[in-house]
Amino acid sequence: MPCLSYVEVISPLPSRRLLQNSASKQPYSGLFFFLGSLVILIILVVLILILCKFFKPGKLRALIGRTAKPQGTSDALSVHLRTISYFNFHTLKKATKNFHSNNLLGSGGFGPVFLGKLGDGQLIAVKKLSVDKSQQGEREFLAEVRLITSIQHKNLVRLLGCCSDGAQRLLVYEYMKNRSLDQILYGKSNIFLNWKARHQIILGIARGLQYLHEDSHIRIVHRDIKASNILLDDKFQPRIGDFGLARFFPEDQAYLSTAFAGTLGYTAPEYAIRGELTEKADIYSFGVLVLEIISCRKNTDLSLPSEMQYLPEYAWKLYERSRLIDLVDPKMREDGIVEKDVMQTIYVAFLCLQPHANSRPPMSEIVAMLIRNVAIVETPTRPAFLNRKRRNDKKLSWDTITDGFPSPLQSDSPSK
């Protein structure tokens, strides 16, 4: 008990010393906090003065805008581990020389495409989406860009970035050195393609479509397969352009926004007549394009004799007369061809042009036939034609097709 009394008397002494030491340190902590805050404030003021001195207010706002915009939309632009670039509108305007007509690469229903050159010398192709037809807001636009960016294949044109500035919607693609296929096929270029190069192009297009239709994580129907939408790189490898762009437009304007009269020859009958759109419509267009590549001419040319004006019809007449070799580009025949390979490729085109959509093979089978992994056992039937007797009718439409075309929706065989 005396020990306890002794402890009670002396125990408060250490606590009193601790309180005194703590109280003596408080002024120093406050001083350090004040000095640190003062130093940070001085540094910020100096940085602001430097920025104001070397950057004009307009340039400073543009700099802040360029850095803030990607951060605000980074979630929308990210695709797995890959993000695309967000381009400032003024950067693209400068790269294309204010979208000068001399830089115009082409124009389609989705909008014109301009050649651009960035500050580092990189060449780009800038597509201005038609503002009056696209009714998407920025969020929807960026969501679709993210979706398209996720679709990557060696035979598809790569999307580098985009720009959304007010009502402006722009897409930035890699630039293809050898431009579009139509420049070569329709005599706008002096480049000659031998059979090996043409077969490579046909096969590459088929593989690109196979990816869009069957192998991609989302199904894409291109809707506008034609020579001007096939771009060629420096090794003449084909890249399909404009895939997925119909997603930026209302459903009722997605195809009719194109120059329909100019692409009528590529259009599948069930799509043109009834608006029934499946992958089979792309396959029909591919068949027409194959005939163009082999013959080196447009699918419709009213300057030619009557029976030669519409390419699929003319090709079928030659087939019936056992003179299909006459369809082949004379220059390519002079250069030398493997006739058996060319004839097999034409047969594949005929299978793609079958009037009934369900009769057309899927792209995976077409690729197999083109690389001769499988034999062609099916005999093609007469393709869909326009009625030549009414060719001069100004109101010409697919309603003048000679044969009836049953709807795939009414067929017993399922559409693939």
> Could you give the CA distance from residue 17 to residue 65 in angstroms, rounded to a whole number?
58
Give which of 384, 58, 348 is closest to 203, Cα–Cα: 348
Residue with tokens 């100004």: 394
> Could you give the CA distance from residue 158 to residue 41 in angstroms, rounded to a whole number?
47
* 363-370 helix and 339-352 helix, angle to the nearest 10 degrees: 170
Give which of 205, 322, 207 is closest to 266, Cα–Cα: 205
> Could you give the CA distance from residue 65 to residue 90 in angstroms, rounded to a whole number?
12
Pairing of strands 123-128, 111-117: antiparallel
Write b or e for each residue in 3-22: b if 16 or more Cβ atoms lie within 10 A of its Cβ, otherwise e. Answer: eeeeeeeeeeeeeeeeeeee
**Both tokens assigned to 129:** 């989406």
Q: Which amino acid is at 93?
A: K
**Both tokens assigned to 389:** 């007797």
Q: In this structure, are residues 312 and 385 in contact, taking their beta carbons and an 8 Å threshold?
A: yes
Query: Residue 81 is inside which H or E element, if any?
Result: none
Residue with tokens 């499988």: 374
> Could you give the CA distance from residue 172 to residue 157 in angstroms, rounded to a whole number?
11
> Could you give the CA distance from residue 267 to residue 244 in angstroms, rounded to a whole number?
17
Q: Which amino acid is at 374?
A: V
* 195-210 helix and 363-370 helix, angle to the nearest 10 degrees: 160
**Both tokens assigned to 410:** 């009414």
Report, as residue numbers or ranges, the catalytic residues: 224
**Both tokens assigned to 28:** 């120093």
Q: Which amino acid is at 30?
A: G
**Both tokens assigned to 352:** 């793609």
